[in-house]
Amino acid sequence: MFRASGSQALGFFDDPANPMKEESPMKLEALDRAHLIHPITEFRSHEEKGPTIVTGGEGIRIRTADGETLIDGCSGLWNINIGHGRSEIADAVAKQMKEVAYYPGFWEFSTEPAITLAERLAKLMPAESGLDRFLFTTGGSDANETNFRIAHLYHAARGEPGRRKILSRAHAYHGTTRWAASATRLPAYHIFAEPDPLYVEVPAPYCYRCELDKECPSCDLACVDSLEETIQREGAETIAAIIAEPVLGTGGIIPPPDGYFQKVRETCDRHGILLILDEVITGFGRTGRWFGMETYDVRPDLASFAKGITSGYQPLGAVGLSQSVYENIRDRSPRGLPFMVGLTYNNHAASCAAAHANLDIVEREGLVDNSAQVGSYLLEQLHNAFDDHPFTGEIRGVGLMTGIEWARPGDKKPVGPKPMAYPAAICSEARRRGLIVRTLWETIGVSPPLCSTREDIDEIVGILVESVKAVAT
């Protein structure tokens, strides 16, 4: 099997400490097929193909039980921002666990890492963001669920309990728990369960495939005019919030056009609707600034974070409340009514310790700036490599969050014999050549860790070029 260069140099294949030798991977494979369920994976095909067992990693590369070294061109799920194998996080978590691994954050109980992480996030937020209060969750879906509850609570406390609806955009991904899935507007996630009827879809700023059939910028952001029409139709007095990813991620890496978020913000303000920014992917450096709200100069009322907060070394998410939302709930709720939001693992001490160690690395190594610089190099190299390809629909991105959308020229239909076939074939080829990249509908997402170098980008783009050449159309 072809392996990505660098694997030998890293000494992955003769690592005496690696317990995954000879027969044990086979046994693990069989046990995996027999007992372990994998998210977003067909049972039948998984039983046929079996797992790829990951045994370790270093920097932007992972190693597998059968001796492969693969470039992690997706940073796991856009979360392993600092890269793999950072043992200082393990040390920080171990230290915390020896003191107090966890104690419920309910009522008055607290732990030092949770307290100091909340303060640290307050300082990291853009100066005028107003986001000042934080509650830690276990991931992104529950951060969004929590924010929907907070939005309802906010309006109820202000005497408008009828504001129950949540608006979200076509192509959005906000998670797969009940309400988060209802805000997710990708049809594949609704095959067996309709979204909750209180969740209402509005158009996305997906200019390459504008559902309103307009051209940007002459459209004057017609998608936001359409948001306004939806508000008029549904009644502002029924709407609690709109949720939006600064860059639509799973929907296909879709950055907004200029002025988009300013017009959304202004629309929300006019109607008393809260703006929830879902920074689960974009937070902590992915777009080349600390947060998407900085990249697009927009201030939310509520925000959701996860992924890059710990780079995946421990599960953790967070919700951020603006001072105004916080004060309205504090001052206008009936006296004696607790904040009725609570997950057993809110404010988890060991996970908060992991977040601190992760953010130490991001700051010390200047990974946010690196994301901006190496990210623009990546975008440039993708343009150089694929602008002239007949099936390049659009190349887009910001920071280390990029994608190539493939389409037939003219009608923009899928290139392959069926939807997603062409990008999936390219991803399989890339995987055979030592690079993990991901299909997002007709788009291939390329989002390596924030510690990537220009040389890494050259290697990634080189593998993509070879993979595209190898795929017949």
Which amino acid, residue 250?
A: T
Two structure tokens written together for 452: 């990537």
First to last CA, the chain: 24
> Scanning the structure block, which residue is given the tokens 């062409």?
422
Give the residue closest to ligand PLP by C-beta.
140
Residue 248 vs 367, nearer CB to ligand PLP: 248
- Give one DSSP letter per residue of 237-277, joined into a string: GGEEEEEE-SSB-TTT-BPPPTTHHHHHHHHHHHHT-EEEE
- Minimum CB–partner distance for residue 246 and ligand PLP (Å): 9
- Minimum CB–partner distance for residue 440 and ligand PLP (Å): 11
Q: Establish if 280 lies at the interface with ligand PLP (CB under 6 A).
A: yes
- Minimum CB–partner distance for residue 452 and ligand PLP (Å): 20
Residues 299-338 that bind ligand PLP (CB under 6 A): 306
Residue of the chain from 32, 72, 278, 301 that contacts ligand PLP (CB under 6 A)? 278
Q: Are strands 165-169 and 69-72 parallel, antiparallel or unpaired?
A: unpaired
Size of the site for ligand PLP (CB under 6 A): 15
CA distance 318 to 137: 5
| Neighbouring C-beta atoms of residue 363, cutoff 10 Å | 14
CA distance 6 to 315: 30
Residues 248-267 that bind ligand PLP (CB under 6 A): 249-250
- Minimum CB–partner distance for residue 172 and ligand PLP (Å): 8
CA distance 71 to 89: 21
CA distance 263 to 258: 10
Q: SS3 letters for 29-81?
A: HHHHHHHCCCCCCCHHHHHHHCCCCEEEEEECEEEECCCCEEEECCHHHHCCC
- Minimum CB–partner distance for residue 79 and ligand PLP (Å): 8
Residue 281 vs 435, nearer CB to ligand PLP: 281
Residues 162-181 that bind ligand PLP (CB under 6 A): 173-175
- Minimum CB–partner distance for residue 248 and ligand PLP (Å): 8
Residues composing the chain: 473
Residues 336-375 that bind ligand PLP (CB under 6 A): none
CA distance 157 to 308: 33
Residue 381 vs 447, nearer CB to ligand PLP: 447
- Minimum CB–partner distance for residue 169 and ligand PLP (Å): 11
Q: Establish if 423 lies at the interface with ligand PLP (CB under 6 A).
A: no
**Beta-bridge partners for 109:** none
Residues 117-156 that bind ligand PLP (CB under 6 A): 139-141, 144
- Minimum CB–partner distance for residue 140 and ligand PLP (Å): 2
Q: Establish if 105 lies at the interface with ligand PLP (CB under 6 A).
A: no
Residue 308 vs 416, nearer CB to ligand PLP: 308
Q: Establish if 77 lies at the interface with ligand PLP (CB under 6 A).
A: yes
Q: In the 8-state DSSP scheme, what is residue 194?
A: P
Residues 213-252 that bind ligand PLP (CB under 6 A): 245, 249-250
- Minimum CB–partner distance for residue 139 and ligand PLP (Å): 3
Q: Return residues touching ligand PLP (CB under 6 A).
A: 77, 139-141, 144, 173-175, 245, 249-250, 278, 280-281, 306
